[in-house]
Amino acid sequence: MSWTDERVETLTKMWADGQSASQIAKELGGVTRNAVIGKVHRLGLSNRVAGGAEKEEAEASSAAPVREEPVVRPVEAAAVRTEVKPAAPTPRPASAPVNPKMAQVVNNVTPLPLRKSIVPAGQPLPPQPSANEISPEALASVREVEKHAKRISLMELTERTCKWPIGDPATEDFWFCGLPSATGKPYCDAHVGVAFQPMSARRDRRR
C-alpha cells in the first residue's frame, strides 16, 4: 500500500479527530500503526492536543487559533466527528440471549421503577425476560463476578473487555463489567452465561 492522496486525507482527518494510530491503521488497512505514526511525523502532524487532557477533544470552545498551520479547523473536526457511526443495533444471537437489563432484576439493584425518561414515549419495550428464565448457576456466577467487575466506562470498552452493562444508564451509577472477555465474545464468561442460553432451557424455566 502506498500513501495516496486519499489515504493521506483519511489519515489526516482521523488523526485530527483524535483517533489513535492503530485505529487509523485498521481503517486504512494494509499498514501498521507504526506506518501511520511514521507518516504522521513526516507530515508534521505530530503535536496533536499539545499538552494535557486527551481522549475528549478540547475544541468545543472556539478558542482563538493562536497557532498557525491549523491541522483542522473546529468546524471541520466537528463534521468529521458527526460521521462516527452510532452503535449498531445489537442483533439477537441465534442462541436467544437474555436482555442485559435482567442483570438488575437479578441483582435487585433498584430494578424498578425504570427511569421513564430513558424510554422515549411511544416506544414499546422489547419483550422483557423474567428472572426465572435464567439458570440459578448462571445467576450465581454473575453476582459473584459483578463484585469484582472493573467498572469501566463506555469509552474504555475494547474488543476484549466485557461489555455487560451494570446499573442504570440514566444515572451516574452505571458502568460496564470490563473483565476480560473470551476472544471474539462480547462478554466475560459469566455474562456470556446469562446472555446466551439455549432456547429450550429458557422455555423450560419460564413460568
Partner DNA sequence: CCCTGATTCGC
Partner DNA sequence: GCGAATCAGG
Helices 5-16, 21-28: axis angle to 10 degrees equals 150
Q: Does 20 bind DNA (CB under 7 A)?
A: yes
Binding residues among 45-104 for DNA as defined by CB under 7 A: 46-47
Contacts of 188 (CB under 8 A, 6+ apart): 145, 162, 164, 177, 179, 180, 181, 182
Count CB neighbours of 149 within 10 A: 19
Determine the interface stretch with DNA among 68-76, 97-105, 134-142, 152-160 (rule: CB under 7 A): 152-160
CA-based end-to-end distance of the chain: 59
**Shortest spacing between CB 198 and DNA, in angstroms:** 31
**Distance (Å, whole) CA 103 – CA 109:** 8
Q: Which CB atom, from 28 or from 102, has the smaller least distance to DNA?
A: 28
**Shortest spacing between CB 151 and DNA, in angstroms:** 17
Which one of 2, 61, 117, 200 is in contact with DNA (CB under 7 A)? 2
125, amino acid identity? L
35, amino acid identity? A
Residues 8/14/18/23 CA torsion (nearest 10 deg)? -100
Q: Which CB atom, from 39 or from 202, has the smaller least distance to DNA?
A: 39
Q: Does 158 bind DNA (CB under 7 A)?
A: yes
The three-state secondary structure class of 99 is coil
**Shortest spacing between CB 21 and DNA, in angstroms:** 3
Determine the interface stretch with DNA among 21-29, 130-138, 148-156, 194-202 (rule: CB under 7 A): 21-29
Residue count at the site for DNA (CB under 7 A)?
A: 23
Q: Does 108 bind DNA (CB under 7 A)?
A: no
Applying CB under 7 A, which residues contact DNA? 1-3, 20-23, 31-35, 37-42, 46-47, 158-160
